[in-house]
Amino acid sequence: MSHTVLITGGAGFIGAHLARQVLEQDDRVRILDNLHPQVHGVHGRPDYLPADAELVVGDVRDPDAVRKALVGVDRVVHLAARVGVGQSMYEISEYTSVNTVGTSVLLEALLDHPVERLVVASSMSVYGEGLCLGPSGTPVPAVERTRADLESRRWEPHDAAGRQLTSVATPETKPPALSSVYALSKYDQERLCLLFGATYQVPTVALRFFNAYGPFQALSNPYTGVLAIFAARLLNGRAPMVFEDGEQRRDFVSVHDVAHACLLALSAPDAPGAVINVGSGESSTVNAIAHRLARILGRDAITPQVTGRFRLGDIRHCFADLSLAEHLLGFRPAVSLDQGLTELAGWLEGQVAVDADKVEAATAELSARGLTG
C-alpha cells in the first residue's frame, strides 16, 4: 500500500534527500516550505528537488497553508525550522515563532487530520555538552562551561573540583542542557510532538540529528553546518575560521544516512514514543575536518585560521551513541566520512559559494551583541 508523505521544510537539503528515498519506494511526496532567502537565496523551486515531489510554497505558521498541505496526507515528517545556534541568541522571537509556534500550528491542524505516523526532527544541541565521565569513570550529570571558563580559554569541561572530564558517546538518556535559544526551540518541537502523539494516539518519533552534511547543503547561509561554512570559505580562497582551539569534537553524519533514518522511522513498529539519536557514531575534531576538506577540495595551501575566540552557546564535545537507533530502527550508518567528504567535494565542483563573506558579517554581528570573545 502506498502512502502520501508531507515533509515540512522539505526543500532543504535533508528534505530533498528524504523526498528521493520516499519516492523510490513508490510513495508520494508533498513538500511544504517557505523557501527562506537565507537558505535558498532569491531563487524559486530548488533544482535539486525531485521532479515528482509536489512543492507547496507556504509557511508552517500559516494555519491555512498547513491544512491545505495536509489534504490526502497520511504520514508527516516535520523538518521545518530555523537553524543556527548563534543567530538564535538574538533573533529570539523568530526562532521561537518558527520552531515552537510553527510546530504548534502543525499539531493543531493534525487534530482534524489524523495521520498514521509523525516524525519530528530534533537536534543534538538539546544535550548541551555531550556525556562526560569523572575521574572515577562515573557520569557527571550537569556539565556546562561558564563565560568565565571561555574567557580564560579553559575549553575542556571540568568538574566542580576543577578536574578535566572525559567525553564519551552520548546516549538519549543524558538529561537535556539547553544552552541556546535554538536548542530550547528544538526541545520544544520534540516534546510538543511526543506529547501530542501520546495524547491523541498518533505514533510519533523524535530524531535527534547530529551534524549532517552532504550535497545540496546551503553554501551561502552563514548559520548552517560547519562543513558547508568551511566549504564556502575554501571555494572563495579564504581560510576556514575555527573557533576556540579547533579540538572540539563533533559527529558528522552523511545526509544520506539521516534521510534513511527518517525513512525507517516512518514505519519502524517499535519506534513510536521514542527519542532517537541519528549520527555516525564517530567523532572528529574541527581542525581535522578543516584540513581534510581543504585537501579533498585541492586547497591544501589554505590553512585553517584558528581564532582562539569563542561563541556563547557552543559546546565542546558531542557525538552519538547509536545503540537505540540500531535497536529501534535497525539503523546503521552506511556512508563513511571519507566517502561522504569525497561525494561532497564532487558536488561542490562547479558550485558557487555566493556571499561567503556573510560568515564574517555573522561573526561580527555576534561580537557586537557580546556573544563572542
CA distance 110 to 175: 29
100 contacts: CB under 8 Å, gap ≥ 6: 185, 188, 189, 192
Compute CA distances 257 → 57, 145, 263, 335, 368, whole Å: 26, 31, 10, 7, 38
**Which grid coordinates are listed for 301?**
595551501
CB 5 within 8 A of CB 28: yes
d(CA 88, CA 78) in angstroms, rounded, equals 19
Per the listing, cell 527562506 goes with 36
Cell of 293: 576538506
Active site residue 48: no
Note whether 162 and 199 are within 8 A (CB): no
CA distance 373 to 366: 9
What is the spatial distance between Cα 344 and Cα 81, in angstroms, rounded to a whole number?
23
Residue 266: closest CA among 1, 9, 22: 22
CA distances from 175 to 127, 131, 194, 198, 240 (A): 7, 9, 16, 21, 33
Q: Which of 95, 127, 182, 213 is catalytic?
A: 182
- Asked whether 75 and 117 are in contact (CB, 8 A), the reply is yes
In the three-class reduction of DSSP (H, G, I as helix; E, B as strand; rest coil), residue 224 is classed as coil
Quick count: other Cβ atoms within 10 Å of Cβ 243?
A: 18
Closest of 135, 121, 153, 161 to residue 18, by C-alpha: 121
> What CA–CA distance (Å, rounded) separates 181 from 204?
24
Catalytic residues: 182
